[in-house]
Amino acid sequence: MRDTPSYKFVNWSGQFRDFLLGTMGITCLGIAIYSTITDKLQAGTLLFTAGLILIAFSSLSRFESIKALGVEAKMVALNDKLSEADSLLAHMRNMVGLMADTSFQIIGNMGRWDAEIPKPEMIKIVENFEQLLVALGEPDEAIQRKLEPWHQANTRDMAQSILGALNKFQQYQNQVLAQEARDRTTPLADPSEDSRRFDRNTEFIRQANELWEGQIDDFPDQVEKLIGETDIAEPTQLRWLLREVNPMIKELRHYLEHKKFKDRNGWLARSYLHEIPLDFTLIQSAK
C-alpha cells in the first residue's frame, strides 16, 4: 500500500505566522462577500467559514479555548495564569511546611526511649523533607526553623553523653575518696577534710548540670573549661577525662556549626542515650 506522504507546517515565527493567517482570513472573507453578491452562495459560505477560522487561528495565542464554528473564545491574560501558578505553589509550600513542622516535632520529641524511630528511617524522612522543601523554593532560613526540633534532639543527645561521662567520673572520684577513708589507719589532722572533698565533687557535677540546662551552643566550650579548672582529681586524670570526651565534644561542636553530623555512620551506629565508655583501669597510667 502506498504510504501517505507526511506534511509539516513551516516553523514560522509567531508574529509572521499570525500576520499571514490573518491576511489569508480577511482575503477569504472578501472573496466570500464577492461570491455572495454574484449569486455563488455555496462558494461564498465555504470561503466565509474558512476566513473566520483563519482569523481565529491567527489569534490563537490569545485564546484559552475555541469552540468550533461558533467562534466562541475566552480571552486569557498571561499574568492571570502566572498568578494562578504562584498561588498553587504557595499552597503547596504551606501544605508541605505544615507536614514538615508536624513530622519534625514527632521525630525530634517522640523518637526516644521505647517509642524510638529507627535511626536509618528517621534520617531518611528528615532528608527527604528537606530536599522537598528546597525543591519548592523554600528559603533556607525557613527550612532551618522547621528542622529546629530535629537539631535540638540531636544536640541534646550528644550533650547528654558528655554529661553522663562527667557523672561517671565524679562517681569514680567519690569511690576513691570512700576507699581512702576506709583504708586510712591514722585520723586526718582536719576531720572535716573528707567532707569538703566530697562537697567539691558534688559542686563539680552541679556545675555540669547547670551547663546542660543552659545554652547548648555554649556547652562544648564550657565543658572544656570546667574540666580544665576543677580540682576533683589529679591533672593527669583530668587530661585523661578530656581525651575520652573530646571526640563527642568535637562532634557536638561540628553539629552546632553546620547542622550536620560530622560522622554520620558513627551516629547511626550509636544507640539513643549513648554512653561514652570510660575504662577507669587505665586512669592510673594516664599522662
The tens digit of pLDDT for each residue in 130-157 reads 887 887 778 888 888 889 988 998 999 9
Contact 116, 106 (CB under 8 A): no
Taking residues 1-5, report their average pLDDT.
Answer: 46
Q: Is residue 5 part of a domain?
A: no
Q: Percent of the chain, pLDDT > 70?
A: 67
Taking residues 95-116, report their average pLDDT.
Answer: 62
Q: What total of structural domains would you count in the chain?
A: 3
Contact 65, 74 (CB under 8 A): yes
Q: How far is CA 71 from CA 6, 54, 96, 205, in A?
A: 29, 11, 43, 86
Read off φ and ψ for residue 274, nearest 5 degrees: -60, 135
224 and 270 belong to one structural domain: yes
Q: Percent of the chain, pLDDT > 90?
A: 32
* Structural domain harbouring 119: 78-144
202 and 163 belong to one structural domain: yes
- Collect all residues with Cβ–Cβ distance below 8 Å to 6 and sequence separation of at least 6: none
Q: Is residue 8 part of a domain?
A: no
Strand partners, 67: 72
What pTM value is reported for the model? Answer: 0.64
140 and 128 belong to one structural domain: yes
pLDDT digit string, tens, across residues 203-218: 999 999 999 999 999 9
Choose one of 22, 42, 75: the last residue of a domain.
Answer: 75
Choose one of 27, 60, 75: the last residue of a domain.
Answer: 75
Contact 245, 173 (CB under 8 A): no
58 and 83 belong to one structural domain: no
195 and 210 belong to one structural domain: yes
111 and 227 belong to one structural domain: no
Rounded Cα distance, 150 and 89, in Å:
26
